[in-house]
Amino acid sequence: MIVKSPPSHAQLIDFLEKELALSPTSIAIALRHCEQDPGPLPMILWQYGLVSLEQLEQIFDWLEG
Protein backbone atom coordinates (compact mmCIF):
# COMPACT_ATOMS: atom_id res chain seq x y z
CA MET A 1 0.00 0.00 0.00
CA ILE A 2 1.41 3.35 -1.05
CA VAL A 3 0.59 6.31 1.14
CA LYS A 4 0.77 9.68 -0.59
CA SER A 5 1.85 12.64 1.45
CA PRO A 6 -0.32 15.72 1.18
CA PRO A 7 0.83 18.45 -1.18
CA SER A 8 3.19 21.02 0.31
CA HIS A 9 2.19 24.59 1.05
CA ALA A 10 4.30 25.75 -1.92
CA GLN A 11 2.55 23.25 -4.23
CA LEU A 12 -0.84 24.53 -3.09
CA ILE A 13 0.15 28.14 -3.76
CA ASP A 14 1.51 27.13 -7.17
CA PHE A 15 -1.82 25.43 -7.95
CA LEU A 16 -3.79 28.49 -6.84
CA GLU A 17 -1.72 30.78 -9.08
CA LYS A 18 -1.47 28.57 -12.17
CA GLU A 19 -4.72 26.60 -12.22
CA LEU A 20 -7.15 29.03 -10.58
CA ALA A 21 -5.38 32.22 -11.72
CA LEU A 22 -5.46 33.75 -8.24
CA SER A 23 -3.28 36.80 -7.90
CA PRO A 24 -0.28 36.76 -5.57
CA THR A 25 -1.96 39.67 -3.77
CA SER A 26 -5.09 37.61 -3.04
CA ILE A 27 -2.98 34.73 -1.78
CA ALA A 28 -0.93 37.08 0.41
CA ILE A 29 -4.13 38.52 1.94
CA ALA A 30 -5.36 35.01 2.76
CA LEU A 31 -1.99 34.03 4.24
CA ARG A 32 -2.05 37.10 6.52
CA HIS A 33 -5.55 36.12 7.70
CA CYS A 34 -4.30 32.57 8.34
CA GLU A 35 -1.69 33.98 10.73
CA GLN A 36 -4.31 35.96 12.66
CA ASP A 37 -7.08 33.37 12.56
CA PRO A 38 -5.52 29.95 11.94
CA GLY A 39 -7.46 27.75 9.58
CA PRO A 40 -7.06 25.89 6.32
CA LEU A 41 -5.94 28.23 3.55
CA PRO A 42 -8.69 27.10 1.13
CA MET A 43 -11.39 27.96 3.68
CA ILE A 44 -9.83 31.37 4.39
CA LEU A 45 -9.77 32.10 0.64
CA TRP A 46 -13.46 31.24 0.41
CA GLN A 47 -14.52 33.07 3.59
CA TYR A 48 -12.96 36.29 2.33
CA GLY A 49 -14.52 35.94 -1.12
CA LEU A 50 -11.21 35.32 -2.87
CA VAL A 51 -12.45 32.06 -4.43
CA SER A 52 -15.91 30.87 -5.44
CA LEU A 53 -17.55 27.77 -4.05
CA GLU A 54 -16.75 26.00 -7.33
CA GLN A 55 -13.07 26.97 -7.00
CA LEU A 56 -13.09 25.80 -3.39
CA GLU A 57 -14.32 22.40 -4.58
CA GLN A 58 -11.54 22.35 -7.20
CA ILE A 59 -8.97 23.04 -4.46
CA PHE A 60 -10.27 20.23 -2.27
CA ASP A 61 -10.37 17.85 -5.24
CA TRP A 62 -6.76 18.77 -6.03
CA LEU A 63 -5.72 18.28 -2.41
CA GLU A 64 -7.32 14.81 -2.37
CA GLY A 65 -5.76 13.83 -5.70
Between CA 29 and CA 50 the distance in angstroms is 9
* Per-residue pLDDT at 65: 84
pLDDT of residue 3: 54
% residues pLDDT > 70 (the chain): 91
- How far lies 2's CA from each of 5, 7, 62, in Å? 10, 15, 18
Annotated domain spans of the chain: 9-64
Residues in the chain with pLDDT < 70?
A: 1-6
Cβ–Cβ under 8 Å, residues 54 and 33: no
